[in-house]
Amino acid sequence: MNAVRKKTILNDTPYAVVMLSPNIILFFAFMLFPIIWTFVMSLSKYDLITPMQFIGITNFINIFKDEVALQCLRNTVAFTFITVPAGLVLSLFLAVLLDSGILFKKIYRAAFFLPSITSWVAIAVVWQWLYNPEFGLINYFLSFFGVPSIQWLTTSKLSLISVCIVCIWKNAGYGMLLFLAGLQSISSVYYEAGELDGANPLQQLIHITIPLLTPTTFFVFVTSIIGSFQTFDIINLMTKGGPGRSSSLLAHYLYQTAFKYMKMGYASALAYLLFFVIMVITIINMQFEKKSHEIY
What sign results for the dihedral spanned by CA atoms 121, 237, 139, 110?
A: positive
Non-local (6+) Cβ contacts of 63 within 8 A are 69, 70, 266, 269, 270, 273
CA–CA distance, 191 with 201 (Å, rounded to integer): 9
Look at residue 205 in the predicted model and tell me its pLDDT.
86
Per-block mean pLDDT, blocks of 10 residues, the chain (296 long) = 51 72 86 89 89 92 93 94 95 90 82 92 94 91 90 92 96 93 87 84 86 89 92 93 91 93 93 90 80 59
The bridge status of strand 44-45 relative to strand 53-54 is antiparallel
Which burial class, exposed, middle or buried, applies to 141 when counting CB atoms under 10 A from its CB (0-12, 13-18, 19+)? Answer: exposed
Beta strands in the chain (DSSP E): 44-45, 53-54
Cβ of 273: how many Cβ atoms within 10 Å?
19
Examine residue 243 and say whether the peptide bond preceding it is cis (omega within 30 degrees of 0).
Answer: yes
